[in-house]
Amino acid sequence: MPARPAQRVLDDMVQNRGRGAPLRRKLARNKDRNWLLAVILHSCAKHAEGAKLSDLEQSIVTAFRKNGFTDAQIKSHGQVDQRIPQDLRNELFPAKFAQLDVKQSYTLADLGRDAPDLVRTTLAMPTVTQIDVPAIHQGTATLADFPLPSRSVLREHAAAMLVALESDEPTAAAAAAGRYTIKASSFHCTDRQTDSVFGPANEPYFIFGSLGGGIAVTTQSRVFDDVDNGETRTFSSTDGCIWGQNCAAQALPTGEIGSLVSLFEHDSGDPSEIRAGVAVAFAAAAGILVATGVAAWVGAVVAGVGATIQWLIGFMEDDHIADNTFVFTGSVVAKQIPNVGSSFNVVRRFTDGDGDYSLTLKVTHVS
């Protein structure tokens, strides 16, 4: 994969300079969601040492291999992990995970025990909006009671999460019987990155990942050329697919569904390799969800994927701007658009204090 030298990236993070500075800031601000990244790096480090892997650690290494990472690349991340100073580890990772080293094993059983705390701390982050869907349907609350994160919070964290869950078996059954699409329709550039102001082009693109029913799917938009401040661009009918691979309508599975939308600005990296990094993070997450059997923690897992993507992209030649996570159930969508042909839009902001974009998503009940 096209990559920046690993030691240089780490040095820049330690010294808080260059491209390492925004990577460090974003990871540190989102510390509570970085547990998955810590476990992944720990697994890579043990693999680099030739140590015996636990069931969880082996599943992570296998996910990397299946998504095109070579052993040398896996070991490279492990070697970087072992060189991270302890004070930086404490800054980036939740306390328990900052202490992981190659002499320890971290198993699926360990993760299952830790899951409730991981869910609690993830959902308590200032970037998270939890909508009380039953209260809205009962008339005791409105959407205005659940404000989105402020612009200053978005700038600092470069991430946001929207959680809308409801357990309604009849409506969930209807969602499973129907066919739906969730698709990006357009985006608006409010402010492109400052390092591209004097460049010949600004080339944003999005990568979408969804996880539901134990299945992970990642797709990538085209790279949009020459996007300037104030411009709005649209996605074609086959581009920007989030739910429904190739933009084909699909049923919504029972249980929680998680979708992650990540925005990048193209530099000299290969977007297909960036997508491979996203795919490996989602593959590892899907395996964890299936193997642990822990209910109601898709949000914490998909948030963890976002942190992992930030790390992996930090070693490539494109720039991560921000990401948005959506956690929902099929019954929420089915109640919102019960009739075939109906739809609604969702608009979310992507900013890290430098680049600033808004993305419009369209959710449609197709059949």
Q: Which residues of the chain have pLDDT under 70?
A: 1-4, 168-172, 193-201, 268-269, 293-296
SS3 71: helix
Residue 34 DSSP class? T
SS3 319: strand
Sequence-separated (6 or more) residues with CB below 8 Å from residue 40: 60, 77, 281, 284, 308
Question: pLDDT tens across 215-238, in order?
Answer: 888 888 999 998 989 999 999 999
Residue 43 to residue 57: CA distance in whole angstroms: 5
Q: Measure CA of the first residue to CA of the last residue in the chain; give whole Å.
A: 41
Dihedrals φ, ψ of 232, to 5°? -120, 135
DSSP assignment of 103-116 equals T----HHHHHHHHH
Buried b (16+ CB within 10 A) or exposed e, 311-327: bbbbbbbbbbbbbbbbb
Compute and round to an integer the Cα radius of gyration of the chain: 20
pLDDT value of position 4: 65
Question: pLDDT tens across 292-307, in order?
Answer: 766 568 888 889 898 8
pLDDT value of position 272: 74
pLDDT value of position 1: 43
DSSP assignment of 4-29 equals --HHHHHHHHHHT-TTHHHHHHHHHH
Q: State how beta strands 232-234 and 180-191 pair.
A: antiparallel
The CB density around residue 272, as the number of other CB atoms within 10 Å, is 10
For the chain, domains (ranges, CATH) are 6-114 (no CATH), 116-365 (2.60.40.150)
pLDDT value of position 352: 93
Residue 289 to residue 331: CA distance in whole angstroms: 21
pLDDT value of position 204: 93
Question: pLDDT tens across 43-53, in order?
Answer: 999 999 999 99
